[in-house]
Structures are given as structure tokens and as C-alpha cells.
Amino acid sequence: MRLFAIFVALFCLLYSCSARSKQMEFEFVASAPEFEAATSEYRSIWASQGDRIVEALGRYSGVQIPDRRVRIIVFEGTSNSGRSGGPLRLRASYFEPVKRATLSHELLHRYLDEVPDLGVCYPEIHDIMAVILFELWSELWGA
């Protein structure tokens, strides 16, 4: 009986962790035809690593992202998180490791937007993010 209880608890834990990114729906959109390849690369990153990214972001930030549907526009410009529910904008020309880092960085902005009163220190937000992202990136992709 004890072994069965451990199995059920483990199953529930694994299911809840793996279900997080499946509950999130990302719509990747190229802003122009020349960015289709980069858009596909971002899609591939999300398909292969989205579960791990979402689980780690939630664990390290201590909050859960409220957005279940996130639109991501791939373009050539400065990446940004699209605060207040707008679309994320991700730079097309980055190499794959930088695309992974940028995707998790911009998503972390969304997570931290959920922390009450953190907006009052928004100019220092990247100092806070640096600590979280160091741990997250080290865990996911090595230091």
C-alpha cells in the first residue's frame, strides 16, 4: 500500500510539472517572411524545452504566469516582454543558445510582473533577474 501511495504522489508531481507548459499556448508569428526560419527555431526550442523552462521559471520566481496564451512576434529589433499582456517580441538573428536565453529572459519579465509592488523598483528589475536567470540557465543548460 505504501508503494502505491508513493507511486500516486510521484505521478501527480510529474503530471503537474509536465502539464504546465502544455497549459500555455504559444503562438509564434514571423513579422515578415524572411523571419520564418528564426520563428521555426523558436518553436522548436519551445517544443523541446518549454516544460523545463516553465517549471524552472515558476520555481525560481516563486510565482506562476497568468497568461495561458502568449503571442510571440519574431522580428529584427530589441526583444521585449510585451508587458501587460501584449505580445512578446523576440529578435530573429540570435544564435540558438541566445534564443533560448532570450525566450526565458522575456518570460521571466512576465512572471515578475505578477509580484505585488515589484513595479516600484522596475529600474532595478534586471538586477533581480540576473540572480534568477543565473540559477535557471545553470540548471537548464549548464554554467
Exposed, middle or buried: residue 78 (CB in 10 Å: 0-12, 13-18, 19+)?
Answer: exposed
Report pLDDT for 120: 63
Inter-residue contact 86 to 61 (CB < 8 Å):
no
Per-residue pLDDT of 127-143, as tens digits, reads: 999 999 999 999 999 96
**Is 93 in a helix, a strand, or coil?**
coil
**Is 62 in a helix, a strand, or coil?**
coil
Report pLDDT for 14: 37
Report pLDDT for 7: 35
Report pLDDT for 4: 32
Instruction: Supply the pTM of this predicted model.
Output: 0.80
Q: What proportion of the chain, given as a percentage, has pLDDT over 90?
A: 58
Report pLDDT for 100: 97
Low-confidence ranges of the chain (pLDDT < 50): 1-21
Q: Which residue from 47, 107, 96 is spatially nearest to 72, judged by alpha carbons?
A: 107
Report pLDDT for 12: 36
